[in-house]
Structure 1
Amino acid sequence: MTVLSTELPRVPYTGNADNAELANWRAVAEQLASNLAADALDRDRKNEQPFAEVRQLREAGLLNLLVPAEFGGAGAHWETAFEVVRILAAADGSISQLLAYHYINQSGIAFYAPVESQAAWWKRTVQGGWLWGDSVNPVDPDLRLTADGDGYRLNGVKRFSTGSGVGEVIVINALVEGGDYDGQILAFVLPRDIEGLEIVDDWDYLGQRLSASNSLNYHNVRLEAGDLLGFVTDEPVSTLLTPGIQLAFANFYLGIAEGALARGKQILLGRKNAWLFSQAETYSQDPIFQRTVGELKARTAAVAALAEKLGRKFDALLSKGAHVTQAERAALAVDIAEAKVVSTEVGVEVANRIFEVTGSSSTANSVGLDLYWRNVRTHSLHDPVDYKKIEVGAYFLRGESQPLSLYT
């Protein structure tokens, strides 16, 4: 078997995004969001695998946003990636989720792969134009990965495998049975068409209908040494992957709230009359409706300020690479948990209460205002937000951090 390096990970993310980088990719994301918004409701209703949407992400250059420039990528920063996720979420939650998970999965190259193999992986993802899906849902029983000669055999089932239906590759993590790495967790990268992998097109949920979050059945799938990405360890910098996805979620929920507000504003301004007991000429001039919108807008702005601050903070800590301490990692994870709490609650509240100012006519299926609520309500159940509150409280009161997991 191939012997993997035990050298500390080489994380290629350094420094912070400048205004030019942010402005450039903000413009790219806004243009794509405009395109996606035009038919988001129709595509949601069709509930088809989003191959065409992934092609748009690829053509916009967003799949390689975080790939180091030396390997053909944009060499951008996580702050920029989080903002792109936020902008796209305002238009199409499903595609925003696909991209957010892609960034996390692709970054496994930096967090898991040995130094000597990282360059090859970065080049392969750029040359192949890969979207990275995953199959790591920890609430399902672990996959069974057994050593088999110079490779491995993989069996089992994983639900909620985001991007698996459309990604060129899929990341899996599994505990090894037997062989040189018995008892260790390894990360592998599988092509979507690998023999023995059954992709079950069963994602038929309330929202996020185009996130390609299928169930996967592994039937004695053969994995070779070349499919092995690296070890999944508790090295502090490597475990920043989980706070990273949680911060992506916060930006995702924030973007949905901003999208619901923008659509609600459009509908409200289009109402030409006013409530029969109102002294105002139009609904948008009525203080009652202005108050509701003002409250929702202010809360959303507060979440935005926190999300932007944490995007910069995430990049700053990543810049320390292998020198990140466990204490620093824990502190940032709690900061991000705070953002996860307030973004979840604001996202759900805004997507729900926007109907209070748009009226009964806005509940028509043709309007599609429900798409924001369906999307944020579906994904905000990914992991119970109450546990994030406990995480924040335990750290604040006693300095206690949660055990490492794919959720904390």
Structure 2
Amino acid sequence: MVRVLESKKNLDYQTIAAEVSQALAVNALERDRLGGIPQEEIELLKKSGLLLLSVPQEYGGIGATWTETYKVVQTLSKADGSLGQLYTNHVTLAVLGEVIGRAGQAEKFYRLTSEQNLFWANALNGRDARLKITPDGNNYLVNGIKSFGTGVAIGDLNVIAAIREGVEAPIIFVLPKDRTGTTYNYDWHNMGQRRTVSGSYTFNNVSVAPEEILGPPLAPESAFPTLIFLVAQLSKTFVYLGIAEGALEAARKYTLTNTRPWMSSGVDKAANDPFILHHYGELWTELQAAIALAERAAQKIDRGWQKSIKLTFEERGEIAIAVSAAKAFAAKAGLEVTNRIFEVTGARATAERYGFDRYWRDLRTFTLHDPVDYKLRDVGNWLLNDIFPTPSQYS
């Protein structure tokens, strides 16, 4: 049974997150096979109170730091990579009003989220320019298709990006659930992250009111509005880490109970096989290093967040390097873990009933969100040429 966060003081939300994770783990394999809409998962999140984690206390939320929030993301992702992605998007999207909103939007969306316990989702794919927004009297109309709309089919509030002719930057707006004219195309059939409903959405004369458009930010000259990109990038890193932790934990249990030592090992159980011990030692060490690197970057995110509009672009650049390094290394370590667990579990562990392949499928799918190579290039460019990454949705 999952407890509910009834008080905003002295909360043990890490314990709540662990209980949610354990509850989801029971039928995670079956949900992965089915794909579809993550109704069960989102309802469990709502009942737990964890949707309010990144909402400040003065607006009825929990007010956790990013370091604390990321650990909850990691815990949830151990059981279910899809839910980890949905949740990490939510906690980031819920604060958008504070970083890119105009006067009053932060307060409006924080209170709305807290009072109605709302789940946020998005269709922000900056590389898909098919969705257009045009003036229509006092309002706007949105038409076209947007891909990678993670969670929009079940989102209470959905952050959408559309192109307006003559305007360089995409227009970002917030739509409530079931706005007339929005249709999910049920075309997310990928090998991993199968419960994120990250397919495409068709918009047919969808009306958008001026007050639903986010921004412009209160301090556009500050680096603070661009910090949200790094907050989001690092949040994905903790999903990687959670998936890898879940894989290693599942493999360990299997090795201790099912794996047999090789016939020429000279030992009577797999837990004493020297090569199995070596592999586990190597994988655990790599994963701990990735976690440490990510936690260091999270602390930098927190310090930058506290500076708010006083954050300089140089300070932002230093955070970007830490996040790029952490994300690249977490992807590498996580893929090593999720691939090599079969070397320490054996041939029988490939049976479909165990579903150990879902960890690799989820991580391989999600780590393709944006190329790791460009993260490493940015780190190298800073190290050799003293050049920070140019702020963007991915850096």
TM-score, length basis structure 2: 0.94
Task: Answer whether contact 1:261 1:350 (CA < 8 A) is retained.
Answer: yes
**Matching residue of 2:230:** 243
Matches within 5 A, 1:218-237: 218-231=203-216, 235-237=222-224
Give the CA deviation at 1:259.
0.8
The residue that corresponds to 1:297 in the other structure is 284
CA distance in 2, matches of 1:22, 1:245: 26
2:116 equivalent to 1:128? yes
Per-residue deviation, residues 339-373 of structure 1 (Å, max 9, x unmatched): 01100001111000010010000000001111100
Runs of 4+ residues over 6 Å off in structure 1: 20-23
Quick check: 1:253–1:347 contact (8 Å CA) kept in 2?
yes
1:77 and 2:62 matched: no
**1:5 is matched with which residue?**
none
Structure-1 residue corresponding to 2:4: none
Give the RMSD, CA atoms, in angstroms.
Answer: 1.8
Distance 2:353 2:385 in 1: 51
1:171 pairs with one of 154, 159, 162? 159
Report the number of matched residues: 386
> Structure 1 stretch 392-401 or stretch 91-100: which is displaced more?
392-401
1:275 aligns with 2:265: no
Structure-2 residue corresponding to 1:160: 148
Inter-partner Cα distance in structure 2 for 1:22 and 1:316: 22
Cα displacement (A) at 1:173: 2.5
- Give the Cα separation in 2 of the matches to 1:231 and 1:193: 26
Tell me the CA shift for residue 272 of structure 1: 6.5
Structure 1 CA distance, aligned partners of 2:170 and 2:222? 13
Aligned equivalent of 1:375: 362
* Paired AA for residue 18 in structure 2: E
Q: Match of 1:61?
A: 49
Q: For the residues of structure 1 that align with 2:371 and 2:10, how far apart are their CA atoms?
A: 32
In 1, Cα distance between the equivalents of 2:224 and 2:151? 25
Looking at both structures, which has the greater relative contact order when contacts are Cα pairs under 8 Å and sequence separation is at least 6?
Answer: 1
Q: Deviations over 1:159-210 (max 9, x none)?
A: 11111111111101334347xxx55543210123111112111111001001
Equivalent position SS for 2:140? strand
Maintained 8 Å contact 2:222/2:310? no
Question: How many angstroms apart in 1 are the aligned matches of 2:140 and 2:198?
Answer: 25
Partner of 1:204: 189
Unpaired stretches in structure 1, ≥5 consecutive residues: 1-19
Secondary structure of residue in 1 paired with 2:174:
strand
1:52 to 35, 40, 45: 40
Query: Relative to 1, partners in 2 of residues 1:235 and 1:202: Cα closer, same or farther, differing over 3 Å?
Result: farther
Maintained 8 Å contact 1:184/1:231: no
1:195 aligns with 2:183: no
Tell me the residue number matched to 1:37.
Answer: 25
What is the CA distance between 1:83 and its match in structure 2? 0.5
Classify 1:289/1:133 alpha carbon distance in 2 versus 1 (closer, same or farther; 3 Å).
Answer: same
2:96 and 2:106 in contact (8 A); partners too:
no
The CA deviation at 1:234 is 6.7
SS of equivalent residue, structure 2 residue 203? strand
Local SS of the residue matching 2:375: helix
Alignment TM-score, normalising by the size of structure 1: 0.91
Q: Which amino acid aligns with 1:192?
A: K
Cα distance in 1 for residues equivalent to 2:376 and 2:221? 23
1:25–1:80 CA contact under 8 A, matched in 2: no
2:142 maps to amino acid: L
Q: Is the 8 A contact 1:234 1:404 kept in 2?
A: no
Query: What is the aligned counterpart of 1:101 among 86, 89, 93?
Result: 89
Mapped partners of 2:10, 2:264: distance in 1:
47
Q: Could you say if the C-alpha distance between residues 147 and 301 of structure 1 is closer, same or farther in structure 2, counting changes exceeding 3 Å? A: same
Question: Mind listing any 5+ residue stretches in structure 2 that lack a counterpart?
Answer: 1-7
Q: Is the 8 A contact 1:147 1:177 kept in 2?
A: no
Following TM superposition, by how much is the alpha carbon of 1:312 offset from its aligned partner in structure 2, in angstroms? 1.8
**Shift in Å, 1:273:** 4.0
Following the alignment from structure 2 to structure 1, what is the Cα–Cα distance between the partners of residues 10 and 147? 35
Give deviations 1:22-80, integer Å, cap 9, x for gaps. Answer: 98221111111100111100111111201111011111111111111111111111111
Distance 2:48 2:389 in 1: 38
